[in-house]
Amino acid sequence: MISLRKGLLFTMVLSFVLLTACGTNNDKTAGATGGNESSTPTNSAPEVKKPVTIEFWYGLGGKLGDHMKTLINEFNASQQEVIVKGIVQADYTETEQKLQAAIAAGKVPAAVLASNVDWARKGYFAPLDELMAEYPDYNKEDFVQTFMTQGQVDGKQYFVPMYGTTQVMYYRKDLFEKAGIKAEEVKTWEDLAAAAAKMTVKANGKTTVYGWEPMWGYENMVDAVLSKGGRVLSEDGKTVLINTPEWVETWSLFSKWIHEDGIMGIHSGGQGWEYWYKTIDDVMKGQAAGYTGSSGDQGDLDFTQLGAMEQPGWAGVGEGKPVANGIMAGIPAKASPEEQQAAFKWFAFFNNAKNTAFWSMNTGYIAVRQSALNDPDFAAYSEKNPQSKIPLMQAAHGSAPFQDPTGGKITDALKIAADKVQIEKIPAEKALKEAQETAQKALDKMNK
């Protein structure tokens, strides 16, 4: 009986020692993993991280808007970390206007199809270099450098190119053929004016078919000025040069072709891109022999009826040098770090070689990466659709877009002057003189 008791006592002591030892080991393990945290049962499900939902603002309509929605949907389906919610505005200008209000209110989208160098300098946009470095495949050297450098401010990358554009010439094949005009022989603006006069149809003192339709705004006329050797600013950046002979002569010719000769027509005003689509409609209906429009129009055009050619130069000067512009996207600085990372993940997806090739094939805009040329679908498409090569060919000798050092005041002066010339019939010399004075005052104020 005594032996039995001793045995039971020994067993109880041994059990207590083992329990104590186990408890000590558990305490050490807990300390190594963060203290009093309880271990997760082996049969519990791992925590699922919720995706970051961001807004992407863009001012695209028609088929361009449809293609953007396609890529947004593909991105959302391709991964589970980010959900992009597309928010559409009427055009690029409205996007910037709404973004300005959003910045002031402190509630911004994480991604926006817009760029503003002045705003970047003021800290309204986030620099992207560190975010870009997280993506090894985002090779800056693979991008068209004309576009990539447009997104740089003071040595930092604030905007990335989503696609490139340049304004080219679209013409009706039947009207050119009927008039005996060969597109490849239209090398100068003088050639185009002569062709437009030949194709213009007038009845009862009114033009029923225009020989050409420039696009409303200052951009087309600036392209023609640059091709003539004109500049916006002096090399030292201190003098506005928008009333020099290159400017006055060029804008005076546009005024003459529109108002006096009646061989060129122009649509203006309306909501968003309304004027743009009215211009295209004139050509598609045979009410104009051609127009000057964006490379991005190609997705909306019927090339069984239309052809494309580069913008001309000037007799005795040389080939055209129209602007080749990158359409840039940025990330507002007030977006949270998580939203900024999510936004760049979306940019990287849009910018990969396959998708930039898709965008170019379906919209006519210029692919921003050299590697897109190696995409087999893109190579096959460009062979079957020669018009798709025209923007690329023109961009090779294009001019860089003007970066307004006054935050838009010089550009605004040009917009006002263009309306005076194109719509109000005010002589180009007078309109440009007024614009130069306004712009110079803004530049002098900034330099002080």
Range of the domain at 409: 166-323+401-447
**Sorting pLDDT into bands at 50, 70 and 90, what band is 46?**
low
Window from 82-86, 351-355, 396-400, 429-433 with minimum mean pLDDT = 396-400
pLDDT value of position 250: 98
For residue 172, being part of any structural domain is answered with yes
Residue 376 main-chain phi, psi, to 5 deg: -60, -35
Among all chains, which residue has been given the structure tokens 């505005």? 89
Look at strands 324-330 and 159-172 and give their pairing: antiparallel
Same domain, 109 and 200: no
Same domain, 81 and 132: yes
Within 10 Å of residue 24's Cβ, how many Cβ atoms?
10
From residue 200, give the alpha-carbon distance in Å to each of 194, 195, 282.
10, 9, 13
Same domain, 388 and 271: no
Of 81, 110, 115, 77, nearest to 95 (Cα)? 115
Same domain, 438 and 405: yes
Same domain, 152 and 183: no
**Interval 27-36 mean pLDDT:** 36
pLDDT value of position 5: 37
pLDDT value of position 448: 85
Q: What is the pLDDT of residues 154-194, one digit of tens each?
A: 999 999 999 999 999 999 999 999 999 999 999 999 999 99
Same domain, 93 and 231: no
Residue 76 has pLDDT above 70, yes or no: yes
Per the structure, the count of domains in the chain is: 2
Q: What is the pLDDT of residues 273-324, one digit of tens each?
A: 999 999 999 999 999 999 999 998 988 899 999 999 999 999 999 999 999 9
**Interval 96-109 mean pLDDT:** 97
| Long-range Cβ contacts of 26-31 (<8 Å, 24+ apart) | none
Residues 6+ apart with CB under 8 A from 306: 170, 171, 172, 173, 283, 387
Q: Which residues pair with 188 in a beta bridge?
A: 313
Residue 65 has pLDDT above 70, yes or no: yes
Same domain, 255 and 221: yes
pTM of the model: 0.73
Q: Is the dihedral of CA 144, 325, 346, 387 positive or negative?
A: negative
For residue 246, being part of any structural domain is answered with yes
Rounded Cα distance between 344 and 305, Å, is 40
For residue 32, being part of any structural domain is answered with no
Residue 223 main-chain phi, psi, to 5 deg: -55, -45
Same domain, 171 and 285: yes
For residue 9, being part of any structural domain is answered with no
Same domain, 279 and 192: yes
For residue 277, being part of any structural domain is answered with yes
Task: Report the phi/psi class of residue 204: left, alpha or beta, with left for phi > 0 and alpha for psi in -120 to 50.
Answer: left
Same domain, 276 and 313: yes
Q: Which residues pair with 369 in a beta bridge?
A: 143
**Interval 83-87 mean pLDDT:** 98
Q: What is the pLDDT of residues 339-388, one digit of tens each?
A: 999 999 999 999 999 999 999 999 889 999 989 988 999 999 999 999 98
For residue 233, being part of any structural domain is answered with yes
Same domain, 390 and 428: no
For residue 38, being part of any structural domain is answered with no
CATH of the domain at 231: 3.40.190.10
* Max Cα distance, the chain (Å): 135
User: pLDDT higher for 177 or 403?
Assistant: 177
Same domain, 261 and 409: yes
Would you say 295 and 362 are in contact if contact means Cβ atoms under 8 Å apart? no
Rounded Cα distance between 77 and 72, Å, is 9
